[in-house]
Chain A
Amino acid sequence: MRFQLTDEQQDFARSLDGLLTAAGTPAVVRSWAAGDPAPGLALWSRLADAGVFALAVPEAYEGVGPLPVELAAAFVELGRHAVPGPVVETVAAAALLGRLADLGDASPAKRLLPALASGGTSATLVAPGGGPYALDADSADLCLTVTDGHELTLASGHHPVVVSADPARRLAVPRPGGEVLAAGPAVTEAAAYALGWARLATAAQSLGVGLTLLEHTVAYVKQRTQFGTPIGAFQAVKHRLADTLIALEFARPLLYGAALTMAPADIAAAKVTAGEAAYTAARTALQLHGAVGYTEELDLSLWLRKARPLRDSWGTPSACRAAVLTA
C-alpha cells in the first residue's frame, strides 16, 4: 500500500499548474464566457500537448490510458485554474468510445478517438446521468448524444446557447437526429462507464475549484484589516476556514481512492463529497470576502460561480448518494 501520488504524478500536476499559471486563465475564462473561444482553444492545444486528453484514451487509439489517477490529478489543476471548455465531456466521450470498442464496436473509436487524444478535436456529450444540455456545444467540434433508445449519435447542431449561472459554461440542447454512430445495449453500457469518468473528472475539478477558493480567501483574510487586526485572527473566521479545509482534505482521498478502484459507488462518493466541499468553500469565500466577493469584477467570481454547477453536473448530490447505497 502506498496511497500517495507518486513523484511522477506530482510532477505531472505541477507541470500543468505551471502551464496554467503562465497562461493567465482568468482572462481566458472571461473571453470564453463572452463568446470568444479563441484563447480557450489555444489553451486547449497546450493542455493536449501536455497529454491531458490522452489519459482516458487507450493506447490502441493513440492515447496513453486509461490512467484515471493521472486524470484526477490533472483535473484538480484544471479546477484550480478554472479552465473553461468541455474538458470533462471530452474525457467522458473518449471513455465511451474506448469502452464501446472493448464491447465489440470499434468503428467510432477508430474514427474519432485519435483526434480526441491529440486534442485536435474536442467533444461535448449528453448522456444518461447528465443533464439535457451539451456543455459548450457552440465551440466543441463534436456533439455526441446517447439516447434512451441505446443510440449514440453525432448531433448535427444545437439549439441556441442558454445562460448558466457560471457564464463560462455555455449550455445548449442538441438538435434531434444526426448521424447514428452506434446502436444497441453496448451503447448504454459504454455510456454508464463514461458516466464514471465524467463524475471522476468533475469531482477532481470541484476539488481544484474549492482549493483555489480557500487559497484566495486565506490570503485575503491575512491582509484585510478591521478593528486594527487582520480579520484572519478572529476565531469565527478561522473556524470557518478550518471547516472548509477539513471538507476539502477528506474529499481528496475519496477522489484518488475512486480513481484507483473506478467502482461506481466510490466514484459517486467522491463526486458528492468534492462537490459539496467546493460549494462549502464557495460559501466561505463569499462570506469572508464580504461585499467585494459579491462582485463580478473580482476574479474570485470565476470560481465562485463554478462551484455549484459542478456540484450538480453529471450527478446531483442526491443522485450520487443513491448510487453509493445501491452498490
Chain B
Amino acid sequence: MDLTHTADEDAFRAEAREWLATNVPSEPLPSLETEEGFAAHREWEGRLAADRWSVVNWPVEYGGRGADIFQWLVFEEEYYRAGGPGRVSQNGINLLAPTLFDHATDEQRARVLPPMASGGTIWAQAWSEPESGSDLASLRSTGVRTEGGWLLSGQKTWSSRAAFADRAFGIFRTDPDAPKPHQGLTYLMFDLKAPGVTVRPIGRLDGKPAFAELFLDQVFVPDRDVIGEPGQGWRIAMSTTGNERGLTLRSPGRFLAAADRLVGLWHERGAEAELRDRVADAVIGARAYQLFTYAGASRFAAGGTIGAESSLNKVFWSEYDIALHETALDLLGAEGELADTAWSEGYVFSLAGPIYAGTNEIQRDIIAERLLGLPRGRRA
C-alpha cells in the first residue's frame, strides 16, 4: 500500500504546472453561464487543446495524451491549483465521451471527439423531461423512423449548457410498443441549430441561463448519429456510470483547491474561532475525497470496476461542495450575500449538485439496495 507517484507522474505534474503557470488567465473569466463568458470559456478550451491539455486521458489520436487515471488526477490537481477556469465542455467530456469510447463506431469517434476536445463543438445533455426526472425511464420524447434516420419530437428540460451549446445528446423512445419502460429507447446526438429545435433558456436560481428547455418538432437525425443499437439506449446510457466516470465526474483537485482558498479566506478574515471547525472540515473533506478517489483508482487500475460505489462518491462531493461554500459565505459575513463574487457563483453552482446526475435520494436508494442489500422499495 502506498501513496507515492511514479517518476513519470511527477514529470507529468511538472510539465502541467509549468504550462498552466504560463497560460491560465490571470483574471477570472466571466461566468460561463453568460453568453460572453461561454465564448471566453470556449476560447480557453481551444488554448488547452492546442497544447493537448484539454482531454489528457483520451488517446493521442483524438487529441489526448493517453494519460492513465493517476495522471489524470495529477493533472486535475494542478489545473485547479493553478486557478484554471471551469470547463464549459464538461458535459461532452465527462458524459458523452465515455459512452462514445465504449459504444460508438470508429467513424463516430473520429468525427465527434476531436471537435469536442478543441471546444469547437460544445455539448449539452438532454436527459430529463417535464414529467421524467428521477424516473427517467418514463420519458416520452420520441424518435420515429424515417428515410436514413430518425425524426425526434417532444420536450427535454433542465438541459445544462444548452442555452449556448452546439449539439446535444440524450435518449428517445423509438419503440413505443416495447413491454417495459427501459426498453425501446435509443441514444442519439442532435444539432441544437437543426430545423425543428427551439431552445428556451431557463434562468437558474441567480438568473443566469445555465440550462434550457428544448422543444423538438420532427427534428431529423441521420443514422450516423445513433450511438449503439436502436432500442439499447438505456443500457448504453447507464453502462458508463459504472466505469471510471464514477471517479471523474468531479475531480478531487477542484475541492483541494477550493479548501485551500477557504483556509486563505479564513486567515484573511481574522481566524474566527467559531468557524474554525467548519474550515477544518472543509480541509478534511477535500483530503478524504482525494484519498477515496485514489483508492477507487487503485481498484480500477488493478482491473476492478466502480459500480454502485460511485453513488457514495456523488452524495459526498455534492454535499461537501455546499458545506464548503456555506462556510465561505459565513466567513464573508455581511458581504456573503453579494452576487457576482467567485464564492457566491460557486455557492449557487453547488446548490444544484445534490439534484443533477441522479438526485441524492436516488443515490441513497442505490447505496442502500446495492451496497447494503436492503429490499427494493416502491421505486421500480
Contacts and interface: CB of A to CB of B under 8 A. Distances in A.
Interface of A: 1-6, 9, 69, 218, 221-222, 229-230, 232-235, 237-239, 241-243, 245-246, 249-254, 256-257, 260-261, 266, 269, 272-273, 317-318, 321-322, 324-325
Nearest to B311: A242
Given A1-B4, A3-B295, A260-B2, A253 B283 contact: no
Interface stretch (B103-111, B138-146, B186-194, B362-370): B362-370
B6 interface: yes
Given A242-B364, A322-B280, 10 more contacts: A1-B294, A2-B1, A3-B3, A234-B377, A235-B361, A246-B367, A252-B295, A256-B291, A269-B287, A321-B284
Contacts of B372: 218, 238, 241-242, 245
Given A235-B365, A242-B364, A253 B377 contact: no
B276 interface: yes
Interface string B281-304: 101110111011011011101100
Contacts of B368: 232, 238-239, 241-242
A325 B279 contact: yes
A324 B283 contact: yes
A250 B281 CA distance: 13
Given A3-B295, A4-B302, A250-B289, A324 B374 contact: no
A193 B9 CA distance: 31
B309 to A, nearest CB: 8
Contacts of B288: 250-251, 253-254, 269, 273
B361 A260 contact: no
Closest 4 A-B residue pairs measured CB to CB?
A: A253-B291, A238-B368, A321-B280, A242-B367
A222 B374 contact: yes
Contacts, number: 143
Contacts of A261: 3
A242 B288 CA distance: 17
Contacts of B363: 242
Contacts of A235: 361, 364-365, 377
A251 to B, nearest CB: 7
B351 interface: no
A254 B374 contact: no
B312 interface: yes
A249 B294 contact: no
Contacts of B281: 321
A222 B373 contact: yes
Question: Could you say which of A3, A233, A252 has the most chain B C-beta atoms within 10 Å of its C-beta?
Answer: A3
B277 A321 contact: yes
B329 interface: no
16 contacts: A5-B1, A233-B375, A235-B377, A238-B374, A239-B364, A242-B315, A246-B316, A249-B309, A250-B289, A254-B288, A260-B1, A260-B2, A266-B287, A269-B283, A273-B284, A273-B288
B338 interface: no
Nearest to B287: A269
Contact of A243 (B9, B283, B364): B364
